[in-house]
Structure 1
Amino acid sequence: MPDAKDLPRYRVLTGPDDEAFCRRVSEALDLGYELYGSPSLTFNGDRVIVAQALVRPQR
């Protein structure tokens, strides 16, 4: 697991709305990040693309 001081405090994950994206968000939550706001969704003509902001509280 990465050292917490090496992780950014804010990040946005984006990608297709699929299991892989959900796993990436879950991994970030396991690293101590918290969801920041609601996810954003768009349709690119082929598939749904989602974005989720996350923050890691300072300890």
Structure 2
Amino acid sequence: MPPRKVTEQPPEGLPTYRILTGPDDARFCHRVSEALALGYRLYGSPAATFDGERVIVAQAIIWPSALTLNGGENGQRAS
């Protein structure tokens, strides 16, 4: 599949910053993979916690044009 052209704004009215959360399973991995295929980039490290029954994970993602507005990648501000 050819790379998707990344536009200034995310498609379908999606926000520029999102945090995906859910059980640590294949469905969650597919959600992150789908967001990356749309053009989002990972933003920071994933997080995980245990709710007493299962592992819950979170991953922040950001639209590339927001990185220049926010001053850098992976939550780091440019100096």
TM-score class normalised by the smaller sequence: 0.7 to 0.9
Please give the root-mean-square deviation of Cα atoms over the aligned residues, in Å.
Answer: 1.7
Task: Give the structure 2 partner of residue 40 of structure 1.
Answer: 47
Q: For 2:39, what is the secondary structure of its paired residue?
A: coil
Whose radius of gyration is greater, 1 or 2? 2
Q: Give the TM-score, by structure 1 length.
A: 0.88
Q: Gaps spanning 5+ residues in structure 1: where? A: none
Count of residues in Structure 1 that have an aligned counterpart in Structure 2: 57
TM-score (norm 2): 0.67
Runs of 4+ in 1 over 3 A off after TM superposition: none
2: CA distance between counterparts of 1:5 and 1:20?
A: 21
Measure the CA separation in 2 of the matches of 1:27 and 1:47: 23
- Percent identity over the alignment is 65
Structure 2 residue matching 1:8: 3-state secondary structure:
coil
Partners of 2:41 and 2:24 in 1: CA distance: 19
